[in-house]
Each structure stands twice: as structure tokens, then as C-alpha cells.
Amino acid sequence: MTSVGADVRTRLVREPDVETIVRMVHDLAAYEKSGNECRLTVDQLRQALFGERPSLYGHVAEAEGRMVGFVLWFLNFSTWTGTHGVYGEDMYVEPEFRRHGVGRALFEAMARECVQRGYQRLEFWTLDWNTGTIAFTASLGAKPMDEWTVYRISGPELTELGGSPAGEP
């Protein structure tokens, strides 16, 4: 467990945390003006974190005897560095605990994973309009990767592309 300030502690996610994290993910989606797009369930998150082959990891922040924030992350891989990295998928801090070191503590937890495991990168996305988070992460040393454009294939386009028999034996 890591302590930041006198009142905030971070630790790895435990199975009893899942329901609270799902609520917070839905709160985050609403904050990002995408609440109607968030379909995460308790069972889905439990399976990703604690199933037979976990593909997701995370830390929670606690203060005043309760969970006040979380970060969920997964491994990526850089062929240029030849090492894994950490991709921060979602981070959320309860509004009344923002600006109290909670976000920094959660970033420190991910960075510690990178350092301890020899990973070379900690990456994440931030919405262009979220100037508070942009300034905060810049204060931690984050640099925008603005020469790259993110693309996504999803929905019917993904189904059509993935349903094609091309290349199958």
C-alpha cells in the first residue's frame, strides 16, 4: 500500500471493489458526456480483472475509510522498445476528492508498475476539451502525442470486416 499525504492510500483492485468501480465508470462516462454509450457490467469487469486469464489490472485509492478513485490499465507492447508498457484505460476520482493528491497517487501506482517490471511507457488518452486533466498530466511529465491520429473500427464495420472469410484457411 502506498500513502500520499496523510489520508490517501492506493492498493491493487480486489474483487469486492468491482461493483463500486463499475458505478464510477458509469459516473465517468456521464462526466465525459457519453453516459448512454457505457454498457459495462459487474460481471464483465469481474471477469476481465479476476477471470481465468485476466486481461485488465487496476488500483484503487482510499480515503476516509472508503474508495474514492480508481485506475484500470492493461499491457500494451512496443516493437520499437521491445518491451511492454501500461495503457491507462480509465481513471476516476470522486469530485470531492479531486485536487487532494488522489489522481497523482493513481498515476504513481501505474508508473511504479512500469518501473518495477522494466516497461518503457505509460500511455493514456485525454479528451481534447478536458483542459484540467491535460494540465494535470502535463505537470506529471506527460507529453501529447499529437502527431498521431487515433482510429477506431467498431459496430457494423467491425462485424463486416471480421466476418470476412479472406485469409482464412
Give this prediction's pTM. Answer: 0.89
Pairing of strands 122-124, 83-93: parallel
According to DSSP H, which parts of 85-129 are helical?
102-117
**57 pairs with which residues across the strands?**
73
Per-residue confidence of the chain (169 residues) as pLDDT tens digits?
A: 554 444 899 999 999 999 999 999 999 999 999 999 999 999 999 999 999 999 999 999 999 999 999 999 999 999 999 999 999 999 999 999 999 999 999 999 999 999 999 999 999 999 999 999 999 999 999 999 999 999 999 999 999 999 976 655 5
Domain extents for the chain? 2-143
Q: Which fold has domain 2-143?
A: Aminopeptidase (3.40.630)
User: What is the phi/psi pair of residue 55, to 5°?
Assistant: -120, 0
Identify the pLDDT of residue 7: 86
Cell of 166: 479472406
**8 pairs with which residues across the strands?**
4
Cell of 67: 474508495
According to DSSP H, which parts of the chain are helical?
18-31, 42-50, 102-117, 131-139, 155-162
